[in-house]
Amino acid sequence: MPVVRHKTEFLEMEGHGRCEVLVVPKLSSVVEHQHYTKGSFTHPAKMSTMLCRELIRRYTKPGELMLDPMAGISATQIEAALLGRNAIGVELEKKFVDISRRNIKRLDGLKTPKGRAEIVKGDARSLSKLLRERADVAVFSPPFGDAEHHS
């Protein structure tokens, strides 16, 4: 993965002061998606892998355990593992859990040092029942709109 520079800009938000905005560079999809199975991009609200990577790099340390309680196709876990963090994801929808498992399996083939990645099928509203360990940090993008869930 190439080293990519992210720019930080600031926006004045009326009544809310200054807001930090991270500007994510656009890479070719071949580079950005190189660690993901083809079916991954059928997810309707997948996070930019470059954004995941930069958030994890900024806000977590190598060796820490990161949680994504609404993991989708596990982009946060994959990027975290590639940065030497350990990561666990929880996802409600079976079809996204299946894609996540395939993406996580692909990490086995990599020679570079990496953290551990895991996906658990379940509802983020019951995290304490689903997780055996306590995470150091959570990185996620919540669902939006009126998506219906068919678990």
Ligand X SMILES: C[S@@+](CC[C@H](N)C(=O)[O-])C[C@H]1O[C@@H](n2cnc3c(N)ncnc32)[C@H](O)[C@@H]1O
Q: Torsion angle, CA of 44/55/139/20, rounded to 10 degrees?
A: -90
Work out how close the CB of 36 gets to ligand X at its nearest, in angstroms, rounded to a whole number.
Answer: 10
Q: Is 118 in the site for ligand X (CB under 6 A)?
A: no
- Residues numbered 54-73 forming contacts with ligand X, rule: CB under 6 A: 70-73
State which of residues 61, 105, 106, 125 lies at the interface with ligand X (CB under 6 A). Answer: 125
State which of residues 83, 91, 107, 135 lies at the interface with ligand X (CB under 6 A). Answer: 91
Query: What does the block give as tokens for 20?
Result: 């930090």
DSSP strands (E only) in 64-128: 65-68, 86-91, 117-121
Q: How many CB atoms lie within 10 A of CB 75?
A: 26
- What are the residues binding ligand X (CB under 6 A)? 43, 45-47, 70-73, 75-76, 90-93, 96, 123-125, 141, 143, 149
